[in-house]
Amino acid sequence: MGWTNRRTRDTIAKFLHAIPPVSEPSDRLQVLYEDASMLVVNKPAGVGVTPEHRWRGGSVLNWVIGGRGGRRTPAPAPEPRPCHRLDLNTSGALVFAKTPEAASALMSQFESRRVRKAYAALCTAPPGESLRRVCGPGESGQAARTSLVVVADSAAGGEAGSAGAAGGECLLLARPEQGRTHQVRLHCAAAGSPILGDALYGGGEGRGPLQRHGLHALALTLVSPATGAPLEVVAPLADDMRRAALEAGLRMRSAGAGRAGACSDAERAALQTALE
């Protein structure tokens, strides 16, 4: 009986997977980069990467299939595949592969840690050290490391990553070396700098324009399978985080050139624009 039930479940699973996802054009999807192999979009907070079930819509995948904000993909085309994940309430840069070959190449880059990732985190307080590397487990219990740098605060008098950050809220640039579940959220909390609105890890409830945890996937640096060339894709800061940072009076610190984990020029330009 157990074998029969397992076989039935497998058959149903195969049938459900064969159902094509819903095509759902949306003007909410912002395309950051596109070539023959891949697509990078700016995921809004509150929208899942994939639907709960393949016959349902409402996810970024459905939007991509629906035409990437109105630009329809010529048929027939392989189903786009997300190459990594972002939490439901995390906004920012999200990569989709257009072909199975591109998916294999891109996911290999993520798995082998060749993708350089940067997150902007709006935190309730600066870390105990303004520039630090946090080593500790992610939610899965596996070892993980994240570099945290203060890039904006209400004082904005020193270099990014320098000591002497003012008390109160700040904007951190977080560079996770792995991709563990909730890694950046856990490590910000472990550094004494929980993310604003992240009640699970000590950041309290959302406030004002920010009614979710203040975490944004700011940038990805990776190699395009189509061109073989490295590229940096930066996602403009989500509007709710931008408004919350401005309400807190945050201003960019000076560049702090040469410091480990410091902003790239493109990352810094995106944050500077958001906080002007």
Over residues 10-65, the pLDDT tens digits come to 666 665 566 777 888 888 999 999 999 999 999 999 999 999 887 788 999 999 99
Which domain-ending residue is among 112, 145, 177?
A: 112
116-123 vs 170-176, strand pairing mode: antiparallel
198 as an active site residue: the answer is no
76 and 152, same structural domain?
Answer: no
Given a contact cutoff of 8 angstroms between Cβ atoms, the answer to whether 237 and 216 are in contact is yes
Predicted TM-score of the model (pTM): 0.86
How do residues 104-122 score in pLDDT, each as one tens digit? 999 999 999 999 999 999 9
Task: Provide the pLDDT confidence category of residue 179 given band limits of 50, 70 and 90.
Answer: confident
272 and 142, same structural domain?
Answer: yes
Which domain-ending residue is among 88, 112, 136?
A: 112
How do residues 223-272 score in pLDDT, each as one tens digit? 999 999 999 999 999 999 999 999 999 999 987 544 555 789 999 999 99
Mean pLDDT computed over 179-201: 94
Give start and end residues of each alpha helix (H) in 55-158: 60-65, 100-111
Q: Which of 114, 146, 156 is nearest to 250 (CA)?
A: 156
Q: What is the CATH number of the domain that holds 172?
A: 3.30.2350.10
147 and 197, same structural domain?
Answer: yes
Domain that holds residue 3: 1-112
pLDDT value at position 75?
Answer: 53
Q: What is the CATH number of the domain that holds 38?
A: 3.30.70.580
pLDDT value at position 164?
Answer: 42
pLDDT value at position 204?
Answer: 95
Task: Provide the pLDDT confidence category of residue 150 given band limits of 50, 70 and 90.
Answer: very high
Q: Write b or e for each residue in 246-271: b if 16 or more Cβ atoms lie within 10 A of its Cβ, otherwise e.
A: eebebbbbeebeeeebbbbeebbebb
Which domain-ending residue is among 92, 112, 132?
A: 112
89 and 23, same structural domain?
Answer: yes
Mean pLDDT computed over 202-221: 96
150 and 104, same structural domain?
Answer: no
Count of domains forming the chain: 2
User: Of the listed 87, 153, 198, 240, which one is catalytic?
Assistant: 87
Instruction: Give the side-chain half-sphere CA count within 13 A for 14.
Output: 6
